[in-house]
């Protein structure tokens, strides 16, 4: 096996945002706490040899793309999650597979609920 054949996973877990996603007027007005988890599979053999940021993806740039998408209000977590997945896939084509989870703290479901979550993936066998 050559180092160029090495694949790996980059994960950014617990990216926290105050955002304004939801169907209810109160959610749109006051916002709430959201977490985003992102996992991406990509070739990492070259980066494992060179120690050069140019041979992988810049975590800060990925975070910035996620933050920009989180700043755009949506009614549905499914919509937010899909936008993030499509944006990261477009901006960082080195990813061969992506999985994104968006979690909303204390969703208004009529009773106690710590989090609601939506996960979308592309390129993973599920």
Instruction: Scan for tokens 């993973």, then name that residue.
Output: 124
What per-residue confidence (pLDDT) applies to 124?
86
Could you state, in chain order, the average pLDDT of each consecutive group of 10 residues for the chain (126 residues)? 78 98 94 98 95 96 98 98 98 97 96 97 85
What per-residue confidence (pLDDT) applies to 48?
94
Beta bridge partners of 8: 42
What per-residue confidence (pLDDT) applies to 2?
57
What per-residue confidence (pLDDT) applies to 38?
98
CATH class of domain segment(s) 3-122:
alpha beta
What per-residue confidence (pLDDT) applies to 3?
55
In the sheet with 97-105, reading across from the earlier edge strand, the strands are: 7-19, 32-43, 97-105, 115-122
Catalytic residue among 21, 83, 99, 104: 104
User: What span, in angstroms and rounded, lies between the C-alpha atoms of 59 and 80?
Assistant: 20
104 is catalytic: yes
What per-residue confidence (pLDDT) applies to 92?
98
């Amino acid at each position: 096996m050559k180092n160029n054949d090495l694949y790996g996973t980059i994960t950014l877990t617990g990216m926290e945002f105050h955002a304004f996603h939801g169907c209810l007027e109160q959610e749109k007005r006051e916002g709430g706490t959201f977490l985003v988890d992102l996992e991406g599979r990509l070739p990492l053999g070259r980066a494992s040899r060179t120690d050069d940021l140019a041979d992988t993806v810049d975590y800060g740039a990925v975070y910035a793309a996620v933050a920009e998408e989180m700043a755009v209000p949506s009614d549905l977590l499914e919509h937010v999650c899909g936008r993030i997945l499509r944006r990261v896939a477009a901006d960082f084509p080195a990813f061969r597979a992506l999985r994104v989870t968006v979690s909303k703290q204390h969703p208004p479901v009529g009773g106690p609920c710590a989090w609601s979550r939506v996960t979308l993936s592309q390129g993973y066998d599920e």
